[in-house]
Amino acid sequence: MKKIIIASFIIVLFSSRGLAQHNLLGVGWEVNFPNNDGYVTKTSYSGGKLDYRHFIQHKNLSFGLAINWCTYEQHIPRQTLVSEDGNSALTSDFVAQVYQVPMTATLHYYFSESKMLRPYVGVGLGAQYLDQSLYYNVYISDENNWGFVARPELGIYLKPKSSHNWGIWLAANYSYATNEFGVLNNNSFQNFGLTLGAAFWQ
């Protein structure tokens, strides 16, 4: 699933190159800090991001597409889970695994730039695929679904030299998605992310 989504995104990016003269492609490594009380809260270092942006001429704006992916794994101490109807309960420790893929349309505003620095703020809106698994004893409860996701972001591009068409990319984002996990009665998934990568201008 991950390979298909990423391959499709790359095809879209390269097919768009001939349509515009002011484009940016960003490739980054992401560290994610989940914010989900009683569920997944452990930092993940297994994340990445692809980002395509088209700049509107004579404006400090760009629009584009972005895809992120991240894997979480965490041991959850022994506790009792009660079914939604209240007729059954399970006591055990658990291992939670989550695979997250948000895909968004983006809009960014760029502040006054120097020759080597370009700070920005923006937002991405779209859909998020979430594959969630909960292991306990010899059993597993899993669920995968799609939800709406909103991702505000701020960041900066740093060029080693003003003449270069590439630079270092630093960013921070917050993600809120409506994906559910019925086993734990969760109706959202949230995380804070940091991006370190490279950007290439055309």
Over the stretch 76-115, which tens digit does the pLDDT of each residue have?
776 666 656 655 566 767 788 999 999 999 999 999 767 7
**Domain 2-201, CATH 2.60.120.10 — does that match?**
no
Fill in the DSSP letter of residue 111.
Answer: P
pLDDT recorded at residue 3: 52
pLDDT recorded at residue 88: 56
Entry pTM: 0.79
pLDDT recorded at residue 19: 40
As a whole number of angstroms, the distance between CA 117 and CA 168 comes to 10
From the first residue on, what is the mean pLDDT of each consecutive set of 10 residues in the chain (202 residues)?
A: 52 45 90 86 95 90 96 80 59 82 96 84 97 82 91 94 87 95 79 96 84
Q: Where are the alpha helices (DSSP H) in the chain?
A: 2-16
What three-state secondary structure class fits 112?
Answer: coil
As a whole number of angstroms, the distance between CA 126 and CA 1 comes to 18
Q: Are the C-beta atoms of 28 and 47 separated by less than 8 Å?
A: no
As a whole number of angstroms, the distance between CA 186 and CA 148 comes to 15
Looking at the DSSP assignment, which residues form a beta bridge with residue 99? 71, 131
pLDDT recorded at residue 2: 52
Of 56, 68, 197, the residue nearest 130 (C-alpha): 68
Q: Residue type at 188?
A: S
| Beta strand ranges found along the chain (DSSP E) | 23-34, 44-55, 61-82, 89-110, 117-136, 139-158, 166-177, 189-201
Q: What is each CA distance from 132 to 14, 99, 142, 145, 191, in whole angstroms? A: 32, 7, 6, 9, 15
